[in-house]
Structure formats: C-alpha cells, structure tokens
A and B are shown apart, each in its own frame.
Chain A
C-alpha cells in the first residue's frame, strides 16, 4: 500500500512540474486577492445587533410605524384630487428624532421637477409636429402637490421645508424612543393623464364615452422610512427608483361621483351603502365561490353607469392593517368580478375591475390568474395574509400597491385577441399581484434596489406561470433568454447591485438577470430542497419588515450551508458572463512501459535513491510514445503488475465489485467567461447512451482559466457536451462540444 501511495504522489508531483513549465506566470498584481471564492467581507455591511450575520433581524431590530386617517375627494370633471390626512408617527428607534421627512412623490410631475433636467438629449433631426409642439412650445403639465397646511395635533401650523419630492417637518421638541406624534396635512393636486404625461398613476380618458378610469397612488403625503441602514431616506423620487415606506394602519374615506365603482387597499366598511342589493347578494355569493369568479357588477350595469355622469357623491370607507401604502381605482366604467381563494388556512378575495374594453379577456382570466398567483407564491413563502388582491385593467400600466395593482392587456375592438395579448395580460397580472409579497410585505427599499423586489418577484412569476399553463411563453428566468444581454460589451452593462437610477437596461438588469440567477441557484447550484427552504426562511424572517440585500444573501447561505459568496459576487456585483469551453480532449491508453519523458524523470529519481514501486503508465494518443498495439480497451489482466496487485489485495468477491473502465479521456476545460460556474458535462457513448456529470463551481478555485478532468469509462465516448440543457447562461455555445460541431448557421 505504501508503495502505491508514494508512486502516485510522485506522479502528481511530476505532472504539476510539467504544468508549471508550460504555463507562463499570470501578470496578476500580487497585492490584490483576485480569488473569486473569497468571502464578501469587502462588500457586505458589517453585521450588528439590528441585522445579524445569519441574515435575520437582530435583537435590536426596530422599525417605525406610520398610521394614517385620510379623507379624499375626487373632482372628476376637473380631474383634481383634494385631501386631508392625520398621520400618527411612532418612533421605535432608540435615538430621538429632531424632524420628520414626508414624501411628496407627485412633485415629480411638478413644473419645478428636476427629473427632466437630468436626462441627456440630443436634437432630433426629424420630429412629429405634435411632439415638437409638446417639447418646445407647450408648457409642461403641472401635477405637483399644493400643500394647504401642515398642522400639529392642536391645530397650530408646523414649520416645514420642501426639497423637491420630500418635505421636512420640524418638531418643536425631539421625538423620543416610544413616543408618538400626530399632525395633519391638507393638500390637492391635478391628476395626470398618464397616457400623455407618464407616471405610475393618474387617469385614462375614454374619448368615446367621455369617462375617466382612475388609478390613484402616491396621492397623499407619505412618511419616508427612517431605519438603521439609511437613517432618513434622502434619495429623491427621480422616476425610476420606486418607493420605500414604513408599515402602518390606514382609515381612508374616499368621496367620488355616486355612479362610480371603486376598489382600494383594505377592507370596505360600508359595502351596503355603495352596492345595490343585487350587487351585495352577488358579492356574498362570490365570497363562497372557490372555483369560479362571480360577476358582482355586470357589464350591463357598467354600460348604463358610464352614460350617467351623476352629480351626486358617495363615500367609500376603507380600513387596512399593516400595509406600507394605499392605492385606489375608480370609474363609472367598471365591471367587477370576484372569487374566494384559500392559501393554507387563510381565505382572501381575488377581485378584478375592468371596463367593457377589457372583455372578453378579463372576465375569463384576470381573477383566475390572481387566485393562482396567490396560491403559487404562498407555497414558496407564507400564506397570503391580506384579505384581498385586486387587479385593475388600466391601459399600458403595470404597477403594484398593497392588495391592488394596475395591469395592461385589452383585446381588439371586435373582441378578438391573440396569444401575445392573452399571455402578456396574464403575465403582468401575475407579476403585479405577486408584488404583494415582494415588496409590499417583504418590504425592501425600492428606491435603492430595484432588483430586490423586481428580481425576486420575476423569479416567483416565472415559477407561477409554468404551473398556470405549461405552454406559457416564459420571458424572464430561462437562462438562455439572458444571454443576449450578458454577452454584450461590458462597458454597456452594470452589476445588479446598482442603484435604481443608474441602470441603463432596466428590464434586463433588474428583472431578467436576478430572476435568472435565482433560477440557476435553484436548478443547478443548490437544488430545489435547499433553495426552497432558504428562500422561505428569507421570506418569513423579513415578512412585514425591511430587508437589505445583505439580509437576503446571508439568509440564503445560512439556511442551506451552501457558501454562495462566489455566486453573489459574480452575478450581483460584476457584469461578468459565463463561458466555459472544451479546450482539448486527449485519449489515454494504459501501457506497461513508460513514455520517454516519464522514463527520464524516473531515472533521475533512481539516482536520488527514491525509486518508486511498481508502476503502469498512461500514454496519450498521438504522442511519439503511442504505439498502435496500445490502442485497445483496458483490461486488468493485460497488465501483469496491476493484475498481481489486484489479486494480492482483493478477494474474489471484492474483485467482482471492482470498476474496470476500458477507456481514459483527459478533458481540458477553459473558461473565457469571467464568472465561475459549475461544469455540467454530458458524455455520449458509442451505443448512443449518455451520462451526466457535474463539477461544482469550486473546481475553478485554484485556476480560474483552465481545469482538467479524466473520465475513465466502460464505453467509448463519441461526444462530450457542456451544459446540454443550457442551464448556466453560457454566452458562447460554439466551444461547448467535442468533437467540434459545425453549428448550422442562420446566415449561410
């Protein structure tokens, strides 16, 4: 035994010495640790009592609370909104606060907004006259908040300063730990026609019947987040980075024309004042219908209402608990259907509101995809905790708020639609309803990190769509779909860990790439069981809390015992792409005689009196030492020394269990891509059968450019392919096969 070990180790020394001679020394700066597997101490925030190294909320974790009582009134004729609110803010931080920051997001639509001034634009040599007029002649839409007052609890004015989209309210005395403060704000603003002026909320005007369909959000001054990582939020709303909001309870009274149908975040308190008896009866039926949606407000009722233009008003009263925001949608045009959904032990309502222009598509699919989405997402996270989830049909919108979201997708005027329209609509509803989980409940900071909600949510959407319809055209998640983006010039890309305002290709960077990364983690790196447990742990740890990217990265490792620092570093902190290739395949044959090179080496060893024991030798095909008689399948019995060794060491029974390979192949893999990824190899044998082998990414830890593996097989290999199922986003498939296949070009 000892002899065998020493000779093996000699051979290893021998082969590494050859390797060292052939490879030129890389010109790596010696002071820099370029190890792609080094731990992320240089990138992650230091763990502390607020956020632990395991990725969980720490013993000192706290979050602020903002409760709202709001009364608003919609002036439909003038598309204007008037509001008055009382905010009660609780300071749960140990430190005192000298001032509060309130977000005035509508100011991004103000004429004084700085957002248009930070866009680079060149002079367009040919412009449509209407566009020219809007760009150079007309005054911009002026949709910012007009603040009437800010008053304290006894009605005295409070001092405030507005800086773009944020307002600082100065406190007469510091707000200490555990203290509450109540103050009131009165405001109004002109609602934007989002088809003309853009925005995540506003209204759509229907020329045919003169009605508006409102999707109202960011409609009230909202508390900014104060927390242990940012202090007060100080990043303005420029337009791309969405929202960061504290949790709280809402009581909202909304006054609209009496013939409107309305939905909003929270539980409706006065349904019997706003629905007809027939509608109430249908709603009660919907609450018991778990299979199919029930039409509560019919198309006939909606068509009658849209002709009315009532001068009367109605007030809809809502209460919502533990939500970070509030959204409203209202119109005369709304048809309304609903059904009940059970996730675990909780029952919620799935509700859709759409104008007749959305039918027949919407009555068929909207509520059903809501129900499916809640079930699918719940299975990977937690039971959906809110009483309802609403999907509103709004042209060209795709935007999410707690319990309510706006979604595009309408058939042609004649009611026909193609698969693109149908799947586009199903996809956007699944996505926006899914946002209830990320970021409405798992409340990440969208202003800083778009990927934390969009990436995780796109990944969950990808899983939900597959189980809704096996034919669903999956856009974000399949690794091959991200290849055109990741294979681009790196100067034109930025890492996922880039602030929302500085991302050039938003859809690919913040949605597609992180969704793909998570899909690869689940399918290829971690496996379903480890991934799903860790992902669920993250969701449950940070449910109704404010996680950071570190909390996600750490939890995924902590709950799975899979070190993923290399994965986060490569996929999230760089723009590197994956490209692994087969550089060379050498066939080896077993020989009783050594090659000349080995023989010379052995001679030297003998002189040094360290002669190895009995040996057999492997000779590469095509070398000078290769002789045609070597070209035969390996058999133990053909090699006397080995045969003797085997007979001496193993009983007949043990011998029968020995693996006796016939062929030896040394495969050298190179890695033109910057990412480290597992090597997935498929061997095809002479009889057409295949075998899959997978080498963890850590195979690259000692050499980032090139690694080799020897495959000892019982059947001759006819083909070797890397990543046959395209599961690693390999950007160049032309170097993935041996022998090299001429890929049929689309260009000849």
Chain B
C-alpha cells in the first residue's frame, strides 16, 4: 500500500453502541455492473449529501459544499480524491483506475457515476470501501454487484473493510 495514512484524524467519530435505531442511518449503496460488450464496469454510488460533505470537510480541513448551491469545482476535486482513496477495486488482482463521470442530487442523496474501462473478463473482484467510516462509526457501505447476470452483495463496515467476489 502506498498510502501511509489510511484513516485521517477521526475528529468527528461518534462511537454509538446502540444509536442504530435512530432515525438517521449511516448507509451508502455502491452498485457495480459489468457490461461485457463495452468491456466496462459501471459504478453508481449513492451517498447522503450531508455525510459526504462532513467526511470531506473532516479529511481536507475545509468546508465543502458538494451538491449544494455554493458548490465549487475544488469541492468536486476533493470528492474524487476522497473516494479514490477510500474506494478501491482490484479486478483479477489488479488495482484499476476508477474514472469519475458525473454526479447529481436525488432528494438528499448524491448519486455519482464512475467507470472502469478495458475489462475484458472478470474472474475476481476485490473491493475495499472505507468511505465515511472516518465520520460515522456505524457507517455501512453496501456493495451490490451484477456481473455476468449474477447478483452479489457485500456489507462493509468499520469491522469489515473489504470483500472478495469470485466468478
């Protein structure tokens, strides 16, 4: 691993033992679909906008406004930087570049679109996702894959940072 600091300062961490039943839930969904004819992995991420900005502000020590009225181009760069650091995919054992395409706001969720190109075939996926674990101890990152018509899911939490799917 090149990155020496995996987890930046955890200033905002809330160690909730039982606040699970609260109205606010810390959960993101990452959908990963493989399109063989385009040799492409298509990734759609759904992250609560307030949690995302809290994570960016926490890591970069700068208030960000992704998907808010006063969003800046730097905010978007930081979002990509943050996700690139916290969300990695190895295809057949090889780390791949995840290319950001666009994003939009749906109610209170930032829906962002990414792709990985030149994936001729998939034997295995190793997915690591620690996004938002640094701001909410109860964060759940749900990974949903549809590859060769087969659906799989991973439930990643602070106690389970990564998972493998084999085909």
Contact = CB atoms under 8 A, between A and B. Distances in A.
A155 interface: no
Contacts of B6: 125-126
Contacts of A491: 152-153
Nearest to A435: B23
A489 B18 CA distance: 27
A475 B17 contact: no
Interface stretch (B42-50, B74-82, B87-95, B119-127): B42-50
Contacts of A421: 50
Interface string A188-205: 000000111111100000
A737 interface: no
A197 B15 contact: yes
A491 B24 CA distance: 25
Contacts of B109: 475
Interface string B89-118: 000000000000110001111000101000
Given A122-B160, A747-B101, A399 B22 contact: yes
Given A119-B159, A424-B108, A506 B20 contact: yes
Interface residues of A, number: 66
A337 interface: no
A109 interface: yes
Interface in B3-46: 5-7, 9-10, 13-25, 27, 29, 31, 35, 38, 40, 42, 44, 46
Nearest to B157: A121
Nearest to B23: A398
B13 A128 contact: yes
A492 interface: yes
B23 A428 contact: yes
B151 interface: yes
A419 B68 contact: yes
B88 to A, nearest CB: 14
Nearest to B151: A489
B68 A396 contact: no
B14 A396 contact: yes
Contact of A484 (B15, B29, B101): B29
A424 B17 contact: no
Contact of B7 (A126, A194, A424): A126
A443 interface: no
A475 B107 contact: yes
B98 to A, nearest CB: 12
A397 B17 contact: no
B21 to A, nearest CB: 5
| Contact residues on B (Cβ < 8 Å of other chain), bracket | 35 or more
A127 interface: yes
A484 B159 CA distance: 24
Nearest to B160: A122
Contacts of A507: 25, 27
Contacts of A196: 15
A484 B35 CA distance: 18
Contacts of B20: 239-240, 506
Contacts, number: 152
A343 interface: no
Contacts of B14: 195, 198, 396
Contact of A420 (B18, B23, B68): B68
Interface string B38-75: 10101010100110000000000000010011000000
A492 B153 contact: yes
B115 to A, nearest CB: 5
A187 to B, nearest CB: 20
A473 B107 contact: yes
Contacts of B25: 506-507, 511
B13 A131 contact: yes
B17 A197 contact: yes
A488 B24 contact: no
Contacts of A108: 17-18
Contact of A200 (B9, B22, B144): B22
Contact of B153 (A198, A239, A488): A488
Contacts of B18: 108-109, 115, 198-200, 239-240
A200 B21 contact: yes
A428 B24 contact: yes
Contact of A475 (B22, B108, B145, B153): B108
A500 to B, nearest CB: 8
A398 B22 contact: yes
Contacts of A431: 23
Contacts of A127: 7
B159 A120 contact: yes
Contacts of B46: 484
A194 B19 contact: yes
A485 B155 CA distance: 12
Given A484-B144, A485-B29, A198 B16 contact: yes
Greatest chain A CB density within 10 A among B14, B18, B153 is at B18
Nearest to B133: A124
B161 interface: yes
A614 interface: no
A489 B107 contact: no
A432 B29 contact: no
B17 A199 contact: yes
A505 interface: yes
Interface string A239-276: 11110000000000000000000000000000000000
A399 B161 CA distance: 29
B151 A199 contact: no
Contacts of B153: 488-489, 491-492
B139 interface: no
B43 to A, nearest CB: 9
A121 B19 contact: no
B160 A481 contact: no
A130 B10 contact: yes
B34 to A, nearest CB: 11
A424 B151 contact: no
B50 A424 contact: yes
Given A198-B19, A475-B108, A505 B27 contact: yes
Contacts of A134: 15
A121 B15 contact: no
Given A492-B155, A747-B113, A198 B108 contact: no
Interface of A: 108-109, 115-116, 119-122, 124-128, 130-131, 134, 194-200, 239-242, 396-399, 408, 418-421, 423-424, 428, 431-432, 450, 473-475, 478, 481, 484-485, 487-492, 500, 504-508, 511, 745-748
- Closest 9 A/B residue pairs (Cβ): A398-B23, A492-B153, A507-B25, A198-B16, A239-B18, A121-B159, A198-B17, A128-B10, A489-B153
Given A108-B18, A120-B160, A124-B159, 11 more contacts: A124-B161, A194-B16, A194-B19, A199-B18, A418-B69, A420-B50, A473-B107, A488-B142, A746-B44, A747-B35, A747-B42
18 contacts: A121-B160, A122-B160, A124-B161, A126-B5, A128-B7, A128-B10, A197-B17, A199-B16, A200-B21, A241-B21, A418-B68, A473-B108, A475-B109, A478-B107, A484-B144, A505-B142, A745-B42, A748-B38
